[in-house]
Amino acid sequence: MKENHLLVTKTARYFTLGELNEHTKQVWFVLHGFGQMAATFLKQFEPLVRKDIFFVAPEALNHFYLKGSAGNVGATWMTKEDRLNEIKDYINYLNELYESLELEQFPETKITALGFSQGASTITRWANATPHRVDNVIVYAGEVGAEVFPLHQHSPLRRSNNYFIYGTRDEFFPHEVFLKMKTAYAEMNFTEIEFEGGHEIEPEILQGLML
């Protein structure tokens, strides 16, 4: 048996909050976690909506039923199966989404990339590889893609402002796990933000990063 690959066109879905125009001061790319959907995830950012902020929530390309063969659907950025091609696919997807927004028209607009849970490894792999400007990278309740270390000399992650956010009661990442992660990620020079809570988005925590 021989394994083969074929590059195909696939329709990707994304959701937005706010308006992108000459008054926009910040653009936030926000990536959901495993089993979530972009629209539901983006609703958590509604308390942060301002006239000068534009949110973009891309949805992962792979969908599945959360239980059995019917009912609620979730999405995942990748699995262990054919993982290197899935990583390439979502990096290309996020680059194309960035380009479609024509953000070069807004050179003064700050670009923030946030990844929650599984979206954290996704966003760091993309931010490490993209040729596009990303000013701030937020790893929220998740892990950095292991492949980004050691950071190459021209890695955009050496220039971005990097933040590491985690809850003290996160059921997926106990405190001792986060301590090990902090040590492993020292090269990214994270600003650490800890909050009292679990594996969830806390809009109040992000408010302080929306200067």
Q: Strand (E) positions, 59-142?
A: 62-65, 73-76, 110-116, 136-140
Q: How many angstroms separate the most distant Cα atoms in the chain?
A: 56
pLDDT tens for each residue of 4-63: 999 889 999 999 999 999 999 999 999 999 999 999 999 999 999 999 999 999 999 999
Helix-strand-coil percent breakdown of the chain, rounded to 5?
30, 25, 45
Distance of CA 96 to the CA centre of its chain: 15
| Closest listed residue to residue 210, CA positions, set 47, 83, 79 | 47
| Closest listed residue to residue 55, CA positions, set 12, 97, 107, 87 | 97
pLDDT tens for each residue of 140-168: 999 999 999 999 889 999 999 999 999 99
pTM, two decimal places: 0.94
Q: Quick check: 161 and 210 in contact, CB under 8 A?
A: no
How far apart, in whole angstroms, are the C-alpha atoms of residue 164 and residue 42? 20
Sketch the domain layout of the chain as residue ranges: 14-207
pLDDT tens for each residue of 74-100: 999 999 999 999 999 999 999 999 999
Superfamily of domain 14-207: Alpha/Beta hydrolase fold, catalytic domain (3.40.50.1820)
